[in-house]
Structure 1
Amino acid sequence: MYYIAGVTKDGMEMGCDFGFDMIERITLDDIFMEIPERVMRGMVVSKRFSYFGDKPDFPVAELVGKKARRLQMENKLTVSREHCLAAVVERESLLAILKRALIKVGNLPGWQSGTVITMPDLFSNIVIFHPQLLRGMLSRDKYGEWDHGRDRERALRVLNKFIAFLHENDSLRHIIIYNELTCPHWDASGEMHFDNSGNLVQFKYFGQGNGQSYKYYPQLEVWQRN
């Protein structure tokens, strides 16, 4: 599953009982790949990357504002597609874009996903790996051959599912779209948050193996990030 979390208007980060399976996420990424770069950049608030390792022995506050490439060269920090944990996007912008996509796909009886591989920007795009690459990773024994004749059907189903979720959760300001494909993020010891231009805005160290810890608050009936 590709899980979805959220951030409320008062800044509380919480898990949501919602997500997408592999086929749904590939289809969703197909839809995202058609969004113009300018529009996508305006929707993405930040990108999160897992940090694996011990507690840093350098002042992390001094790293804020540095570009990812500089952090890799000077501080030996790994910032890669494989370690990309999640994209944080504005809920209202996401909802508006998904509604426009629903109209577009609905009006194109022959809509199909793109097959020309172009890698999306690492910091300003929700998509991490081009969906065509993900399709190539699917087990044929489990999923069979990908039928592009069903692309439109899958797209409409995924769009309606996500739009309904966003309507039902109007208390959320931001949506956190997780990527759990290529990296065991649950083993992480921290996170690095970058803005959509690739500048570090926050470095969080949680401790070994605590990168994805949530605590349940029964009074509020929510799970919140520790």
Structure 2
Amino acid sequence: MRKADRLFQIIQILRRARQPITADAIAVELETSKRSVYRDIATLMGQRVPIRGEAGMGYVLEAGFDLPPLMLTPDEIEAAVLGAQWVMARGDPALVRAAQDLVAKIAAAVPERLRPLVLDPSARTRSDQLPIPPDAIDMAEVRRAIHGARKIQLGYRDEKGEDTARKVWPIAIGYLETVRMMVAWCELRKDFRHFRTDRITAAAFLDERYPERPAALRAKWRAALRDRVPEKKT
């Protein structure tokens, strides 16, 4: 691997890491020596790339630094287009449009020699999937409520046909093969619940914020999933 490519890959590794990452881990991924990583980190810091950390402790890339947005490798292009294909087939209408726009932007921006990877990719998703029931709630508004940590007042019909009213704290959306689910803390049940979006009978998006950060609630939800016994009925 050329040094310029290695420097670029180190930035990519640091950019995607959520915690300090050691020179050992970087060296393993790049299949190079730890000494080379130390030298490359020093080179990047000398070029004013805002890397913080030291040998033995790990390194982080400080917020605010970015590379030109279209320096994509062929594998990155294939990955982006494959993901966009899945969203176009299984996403809600707003995300379908966004995925189509994403592919169009990538095709317009990449060099001519890479354009076939976008327009005629070798990796493809299945085209014979079952249709997903239409959402009975505005999914774009649900995503905005999640980002803003705002509550939603729901009417919901469960699998037995029973109707209930819920005030929930939405934290995530699950885009599954046959249904879409909204994950939320339910004030009625005092627990996390999964609401099928096609079974929602009414929705009012409230200005009331819930008291915890969405990311913190998602961490608690994941921990609950790991520890849970057979899933409770919604």
TM-score between both structures, scaled by the size of structure 2: 0.25
What is the TM-score of this pair, normalised by structure 1?
0.25
By relative contact order (CA 8 Å, sep 6+), the higher-ranking structure is: 1
Structure with max Cα Rg? 2
Higher helix share: 2
